[in-house]
Amino acid sequence: MPPTLHLSHLKDPSAILSDINEIPYDNAGRGAPFNLDEDINVVFRAVNVKTIWSSVASPSVDTTMFAVATSKGAMLVGLKGGTDQTWTTRADFAGDDGAADTLAVDFWNSNLVLAGMRSGKVRLWDLRSDGANNVRFQHSSSVRNIKVLDDNKILVAGLKNKMAIYDIRFTKGPQQSFRSGIKASIPFQEFPTYYLGSHLYPQLGFDVHLGMGLIASATEDKKLQIFDWNNSHRDIDLGCRQEPLFETLDGHIRCVKFVEDQTSRDGLKLLIAHGTKIDVWSW
């Protein structure tokens, strides 16, 4: 069975509120299971691809498009407009699995996709041209997460406990060194206390709050770190490496997400999915 990508529509918010009011509760106050999304609408099977690592939605409100990171490179899945809407795919497969393994993707804008590779290269895919792409810079380890911070700065988090911000106005592409092979590009800013772990554990949580300049990153030993990218030496280490973050932590932190809550006094919350639970942290 090839790796699959499931696409679902979220329910309309007004319909969700109506449905919540009709949820039956038992004597203990437990409600019946409730889904915020509809049934799976579209299933894509990536033929000739070993692994789908991650995906991200396009920031454009005018198009429905997803960039997908696969073991053979980046892929686009989009909804073609018109009266008879159909889903289409485009691939930017640059080589065999070993050379093109892409672990992370992000949209720079609606026309440009950044692809972070296992080799540490960060490639730029211009969707307006046929397969035109180039390597913009070289990270010092495999790229596990990538996030566009603004028009010029790109955050890259990788293995070997390496996380850095690159400014594309000043960052040079990969350079060949006679003694050590490919040399990493010089970053704009580094995070010396960033810690991930020693193995490639799949799907650990990672999120960025652009407005407040915060980075939340889960580790392989079930911890969570929060960084302030305006000050790379200031980090909030929630739990040291020797002790668990919480005694009741069910498992690895598979997803983290900053959310704005207008009903909260502080406004900002962090959702953390671990094991079978979702915790809500607030400031």
pLDDT tens digit sequence for 62-99: 888 899 998 888 888 887 765 556 777 877 765 544 56
Query: Whole-model pTM?
Result: 0.80
Identify the H or E element spanning 99: helix 97-100
Going by their DSSP bridges, the two strands 181-183 and 175-177 should be labelled as: antiparallel
pLDDT, one tens digit per residue, over 217-237 is 988 877 888 888 877 555 554
The per-residue DSSP string of 12-69 comes to PHHHHHHHHHT--B-TT-PBPP--SEEEEEEEEE-TT-S-EEEEEE-S-SS--EEEEE
Residues 6 or more apart in contact with residue 70 via CB below 8 angstroms? 3, 46, 49, 51, 52, 53, 102
Residue closest to 72 by CA, chosen among 45, 41, 51: 51
- Bridge-partner residues for 8, per DSSP? 40
